[in-house]
Amino acid sequence: MKLVFLLSLMVLCLPCKASISTSDYSTFGSSESEKGFHIPEATPKYSETSAVVGESSTWGKGAYKAFNGQIFSFESSCTYTFCRHCVESGSYFNIEIKRNNQNDIEKITVLIDGNDISISGKTILVNGESVHVPFDNKLIHIKHYGDYTKLESRRGILFLMWNSKDKLSLTLHKPYATCGLCGQLNDVPGENIDENIANSKISEDCPKAIAKQYEECEDGKRVVQWIVG
């Protein structure tokens, strides 16, 4: 009886095991796995910057969809501003695009947060140096995304996706004053596409481009509405 009583006391005196909250574990893994790259505390997580404020894209032989949903196409081998943060000073980003004579995308240039990114096919230069994907620094992250390559701003400004031939898409996470082939955020359809193309051209030596403009019909089919030029 004395032995049973002593054992009971020992069991009662054992400390309870503290419960472990899931918040005690980092979603980035252990510190050992993070030694190769440190994310500053001020850097927003991707989950915090998932809001979509505007989307624009280009594909095929020179088709474009502006932020306002307007669809148009034109053929040119000149360099154009695809989208730029249009302010007098302190611009956050500038994206330029150049197609070749076959209207495939030849070069994409991105200026964002002090990074100068040049994309030609599968070759990517960051600040003049060739990089391999995936690539990280304190302000940008580049990774493969299926058949595409994806560039994300760690400050939650935007992300770009492209393939090595003819497709490029832009998603803005925050509202900015924009200009270029993407047009302006929250702009109503019907703006002068021909004038917008001319204003987005980088070199004045390039010939004037003739644009075909499209409308989205009620049944979802796209038809040529008129030729601007």
User: pLDDT under 70 in the chain at which residues?
Assistant: 1-50, 188-191, 210, 213-229
Q: In this structure, are residues 154 and 114 in contact, taking their beta carbons and an 8 Å threshold? A: no
Phi, psi dihedrals of residue 62, rounded to the nearest 5°: 115, 30
Ranges of each domain in the chain: 46-228
Model pLDDT for residues 166-217, shown as the tens digit of each residue: 999 999 999 999 999 999 987 766 567 888 899 999 987 888 886 776 655 4
Contact 174, 186 (CB under 8 A): no
Q: Which residues sit opposite 172 in a β-bridge?
A: 54, 158
Alpha-carbon separation of residue 164 from 84, 108, 178 (angstroms): 22, 10, 25
How many other C-beta atoms can be found within 10 angstroms of the C-beta atom of residue 78? 17
CB 217 within 8 A of CB 223: yes
C-alpha 95/C-alpha 150 separation (Å) is: 14
CA 134, 25, 158, 74 dihedral sign is positive
**Contact at 8 Å (CB) between 180 and 193?**
no
In the beta sheet, which residues pair with residue 178?
Answer: 85
Tell me the Cα Rg of the chain: 26
- Predicted model pTM: 0.72
Residue 139's CB is within 10 A of a number of other CB atoms, namely: 16
Looking at residue 100, what is its pLDDT? 94
What is the rounded distance in angstroms from the CA atom of residue 113 to the CA atom of residue 128?
15
Predicted local distance difference test score (pLDDT) of residue 77:
93
pLDDT attached to residue 38: 32
Q: In 3D, which of 178, 186, 210 has the Cα closest to residue 197? A: 210
**What is the model's pLDDT at position 27?**
27
